[in-house]
Chain A
Amino acid sequence: MNTVFPNRILPYLLLAPSIILVLVFFIYPAAQSVELSLYRVNRVRDVQVYVGLENFERLFHSDSYINSLTVSAKFTVAVVVAALTISLALAVGASLPIRGFGVYRTLLIWTYALSPAIAGVIWALLTDPAIGVLTDLLKAIGVNFNWRQSPNDALIFLVMAATWKILGYDILFFLAGLKNIPHDVLEAAALDGANSWTRFWRMVLPLLRPTLLFLLIMNTLYASFETFGLIDITTQGGPGRATNLLIYELYQDGFKSSSRIGLASAQSLVLLAIVATLTFIQYRFISRRTFYQ
């Protein structure tokens, strides 16, 4: 790196606010999470007892936590696979060098502006037993869809809403990735009829690999954490515990009860382990990359 300005103190002053914020709001609370996870905490009685790894033991012996792990894994895999497949197909379609296709690039990314909570409202409307069009459509083909009663339908419902919401973001990144692929590669893939499928796998997909890996991680984080609003505004973890994802369980233990703070912190650390593993995998695959929220 070539330095331009000789000032000695100025750069540290410029960096100081960021460093202080990271220390105060990231490193310190994370360290506290580690500490709290080793205690049994009761907020109401204001007691804190050191219990070693008991919280972790309780977690992995708890049926409800194992259930949350399973449900989260199913949900995350379903959302990531569905979202990446659909958005890749749509982004490749919208990138075809055909006159007038520029407009699709705008018309397909708008769900990026939506929140998961609003996506929840919209899909609750589509699948409402009384007035939902999707309910009617499904009834017409003999499917009785009711996510308020059926655990299976509830998970499917969340997957549909979450996938739909993230399409805009994924398409946006695929479009950006595709923009860097030479036009004739795409054109050949598009016009070559029977060979286009092979060409896509052989030529386009390898060039998109970095984008794909980036989105793989971002979508996993999205499905694991950011869908909280979607769940809270629709299923609230139910029916039963059918949609009680890890993040929802953590919220309930950390903020809806006064005696499970230690347990919630242990859950935070398990989440941290998951995130760290995923990030590590990403570092292994891509040397230089960019993150976006």
Chain B
Amino acid sequence: MSAISASTTETAIIYEGRWRRRFYPIIMHGVMLTAVFLVTFPLIYTLILSTQGTGLGSLRPGTAIVENYSDAWSRAQMDMLIRNTLIVALAVALGKIVLSIMGAYALIYFRVRGGMILLAVVMLTHLLPLPVRIVPTYDLLTDLGWVDTFKGLTIPFFASATGLLLFQQFFRTVPTDLADAARVDGAGPFRFLVSILIPVSRTNIGALFLIEFIYMWNQYLWPLIVANSARTRQVQIGIKQLVATDAVIEWGILTAGAITVIIPPLIVLLVLQRSLMSGLSASTEDF
């Protein structure tokens, strides 16, 4: 009797295990697809809206896609906005990459007296996000004559504690044999940096570029205060103007503008996503 009951339980366990193995992935796919749908639906709805001229708010795409996008484009002066924001985002991303590689290189591969203190000073910038120094920083910009200039939009962002930490941590993991071998071969500091260190850092460079490009593309408060004219105006402020042009919001045009503005950072994210993921996993290992 006991033998029989034992074997039935066993069968039941095996059966249940099989059931789980077969259906569990299907159920989980269902759960994840629902999650993706819920997270993405707001964007899909916005995308649909941007094609509608009349019958706003239905879930069927409309026929006003060309009108909406060209209206948004001309009303917000989208070509200027995108150009201006690209200049700022690229300049800051590249500037931060160059400066933080230089700094981390100095700290790891050279003898720097008080290096830890210098590092601590740069780390201080984390304690001082823009809002806690915004009025004096604006005053400083006025004194420098940088209000409404690309200098004013970019240079205050160039120092990067994030980048310095990222490269500092990464350079520590680069085998020292590499540098010793390079030195023995007669490579100077500059050649080692350019032909060995920078190439092995490309994942981290990609990760930092992605982080900083998106960060700058999405800047709002600083451009709102500093970039007053069409000559330097940034995309996010352009969207604000699309909201504020009329008493009644023209949803078709506004959503077309919003979709346009989302595209560049989305492309950067898609292209560099892998770099970011591996850069993050590598550098957060010793969290």
Contact = CB atoms under 8 A, between A and B. Distances in A.
A196 to B, nearest CB: 11
Contact-residue size bin, chain B (C-beta under 8 Å from the other chain): 35 or more
B159 interface: yes
A286 to B, nearest CB: 6
State the majority secondary structure of interface residues on A.
helix
B66 interface: no
A264 interface: yes
A122 B43 contact: yes
Contact of B269 (A112, A125, A268): A112
Nearest to B110: A11
Interface string A176-187: 110110000000
Contacts of B36: 104, 107-108
A25 B32 contact: no
Nearest to A117: B236
Contacts of A154: none
Contacts of B261: 115, 118
B57 A133 contact: yes
A251 B221 contact: yes
A109 interface: yes
A193 to B, nearest CB: 8
B162 A106 contact: no
B215 interface: yes
Interface stretch (A56-64, A138-146, A221-229): A221-229
Nearest to A32: B136
Given A29-B133, A107-B40, A114-B262, A10 B269 contact: no
Contacts of A265: 135-136
Interface size class of A (residues with CB under 8 A): 35 or more
B125 A26 contact: yes
Interface in B122-145: 122, 124-140
Contacts of A17: 99, 102, 158
Contacts of A291: 126, 161-162, 165
Interface in B200-259: 211-212, 214-215, 217-218, 220-221, 224-225, 236, 239-240, 243, 249, 251, 254-255, 258
Contact of B287 (A5, A121, A211): A211
Nearest to A98: B25
Interface of B: 20, 24-25, 28-29, 31-32, 35-36, 39-40, 42-43, 45-46, 49, 56-57, 59, 99-100, 102-103, 105-112, 115, 118, 121-122, 124-140, 155-156, 158-162, 164-166, 169, 176, 179-180, 183, 188-189, 192, 211-212, 214-215, 217-218, 220-221, 224-225, 236, 239-240, 243, 249, 251, 254-255, 258, 261-262, 265-266, 268-270, 273, 276-277, 280-281, 283-287
Given A21-B159, A115-B217, A211-B284, 11 more contacts: A4-B109, A15-B103, A19-B121, A90-B35, A94-B32, A101-B32, A121-B254, A232-B224, A250-B131, A255-B138, A293-B212
16 contacts: A1-B115, A7-B110, A8-B111, A11-B106, A25-B155, A25-B156, A98-B24, A98-B29, A107-B36, A115-B261, A125-B251, A130-B57, A173-B280, A228-B131, A229-B220, A232-B220
